[in-house]
């Protein structure tokens, strides 16, 4: 099982199935000792079974069923330190969230989604950093989502996952001096959760196609298998990616995109403070020329009916 990550210790949250399982298996094949973390209450998740797979193949792994929460994060990191003596790699992969019209989400649904996809990731990073620094550096990979670019029915999930990109950039800046790298991926793979998502989003299908383009359901499931995501994620954890920090990648099938970082595009200035009259005159010509409201679906009035 010796490989590119021989002697290193990794934690993968949400690793009892799906994409996280594939991360854990490949990390182990490359020589890392792996903490397979999952709460085992989601469909198909079984951390112990993944650990057994790794051990049968000659690798090292232990299971953790603690939740990746503010309190649970310490227990997950402690499992790695107690079992393997330290920590070198953290892959934040756990996720949760549902679909609904923006005005129908409950506070409980909001809190669950943000707690898992943003607060929990922060908690894991917070607990991991001292151990990574003591080892002379390490790697953090956060699982964001293309939903952050805008995703009808996924308003809360999109907010949490795009907040995670801001966290990734900031952590990279703050932790880089300790030789700790932090990057994010936006994966697209067909998992059990995606299949359930397809069933639950039929009412939004037309709106999604109009605002987002063709969806995952219109692609080849085999080409989007979870195992297709893991090679790039594991590569980010190797020394070959030592120059990569604070970046975001879209990973889908056999394709990997590096996203550009936001930069100012156009600026207008005036003496003193702007007045509304000045903005009426200058902004349309010098600041917002060519911009349109892409979401005025005037040609599709059926989509504009509000159902309270």
Query: Strand, helix or coil at 71?
Result: coil
Strand order of the sheet with strand 248-252?
A: 61-64, 33-37, 9-13, 89-92, 138-143, 180-188, 248-252, 255-258
| DSSP output for 4-48 | TTTT-EEEEET-SSHHHHHHHHHHHHTT-EEEEE--S-STT--HH
Q: Among 162, 278, 155, 267, which residue's Cα sits nearest to residue 208?
A: 155
Rounded to the nearest 5 degrees, what angle is found at the Cα of 275, between the Cα atoms of 273 and 280? 135
3-state secondary structure (DSSP) of residue 79: helix
Break the chain into its structural domains and give their ranges.
9-258
Distance CA 20, CA 92 (A): 9
Cβ contacts of residue 145 below 8 Å, gap of 6+? 151, 157, 158, 161, 186, 187
- Predicted confidence at residue 45, as pLDDT, reads 86
- Neighbouring CB atoms inside 10 A of 4's CB total 16
CB-based contact 229:189 (threshold 8 Å): yes
Task: Report DSSP letters for 225-269, one per residue.
Answer: -GGGTHHHHHHHTSGGGTT--S-EEEEETTEEEEPPPP-------
CA–CA separation, 121 vs 106, rounded Å? 22
Which pLDDT belongs to residue 55? 98
pLDDT for the residue 206:
66
Structure tokens at 23: 């991360």
Domain 9-258 belongs in CATH node 3.40.50.720: yes
Helices 47-56, 18-29: axis angle to 10 degrees equals: 30
Cα(122)–Cα(72) distance, integer angstroms: 12
What residue spans of 42-186 are helical by DSSP H?
Answer: 47-56, 72-84, 107-114, 120-134, 155-175
Q: Is 121 marked active-site?
A: no
CB 57 within 8 A of CB 29: yes
> Which helix (H) or strand (E) element contains residue 141?
strand 138-143
The active-site residue out of 121, 157, 197, 259 is 157
Q: 141 - beta bridge partners?
A: 91, 183
How many residues does the structure list for the chain?
308
Q: How far is CA 277 from CA 268, 282, 284, 287, in A?
A: 14, 9, 12, 15
Tens-of-pLDDT digits for all 308 residues of the chain? 459 999 999 999 999 999 999 999 999 999 999 999 999 777 678 999 999 999 999 999 999 999 999 999 999 999 999 999 999 999 999 999 888 888 999 999 999 999 999 999 999 999 999 999 999 999 999 999 988 888 788 899 999 999 999 999 999 999 999 999 999 999 987 665 665 656 666 666 766 766 665 544 445 667 788 999 999 999 999 999 999 999 999 999 899 999 999 999 999 999 999 999 999 999 999 999 999 887 776 666 666 555 66
Burial grade of 184 (CB within 10 A; 0-12, 13-18, 19 or more): buried
How far is the C-alpha of 68 from the C-alpha of 90, rounded, in Å?
A: 12
């Amino acid at each position: 099982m010796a490989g590119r990550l021989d002697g290193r210790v990794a934690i993968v949250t949400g690793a009892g199935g799906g994409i996280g399982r594939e991360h854990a298996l490949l990390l182990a094949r490359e020589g890392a000792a792996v903490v397979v973390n999952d709460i085992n209450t989601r469909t198909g998740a079984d951390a112990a079974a993944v650990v057994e797979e790794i051990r049968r193949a000659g690798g090292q792994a232990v299971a953790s069923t603690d939740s990746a929460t503010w309190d649970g994060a310490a227990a997950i990191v402690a499992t790695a330190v107690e079992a393997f003596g330290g920590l070198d790699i953290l892959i934040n992969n756990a996720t949760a969230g549902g679909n609904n019209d923006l005005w129908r989400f409950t506070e409980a649904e909001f809190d669950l989604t943000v707690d898992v996809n943003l607060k929990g990731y922060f908690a894991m990073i917070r607990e991991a950093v001292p151990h990574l620094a003591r080892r002379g550096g390490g790697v953090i990979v956060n699982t964001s989502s293309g939903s952050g670019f805008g995703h009808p029915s996924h308003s809360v999930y999109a907010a949490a996952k795009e907040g995670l990109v801001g966290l990734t950039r900031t952590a990279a800046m703050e932790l880089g001096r300790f030789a700790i790298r932090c990057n994010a991926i936006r994966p697209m793979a067909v998992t059990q959760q995606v299949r359930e998502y397809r069933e639950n989003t039929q009412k939004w299908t037309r709106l999604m196609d109009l605002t987002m383009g063709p969806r995952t359901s219109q692609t080849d499931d085999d080409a989007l298998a979870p195992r297709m995501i893991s090679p790039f994620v594991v590569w980010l954890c190797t020394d070959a990616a030592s120059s990569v920090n604070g970046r975001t990648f879209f990973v889908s099938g056999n394709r990997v995109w590096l996203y550009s970082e936001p930069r100012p595009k156009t600026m207008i200035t005036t003496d003193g403070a702007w007045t509304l009259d000045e903005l009426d005159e200058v902004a349309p010509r010098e600041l917002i020329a060519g911009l349109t409201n892409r979401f005025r679906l005037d040609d599709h009035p059926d989509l504009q009916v509000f159902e309270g």
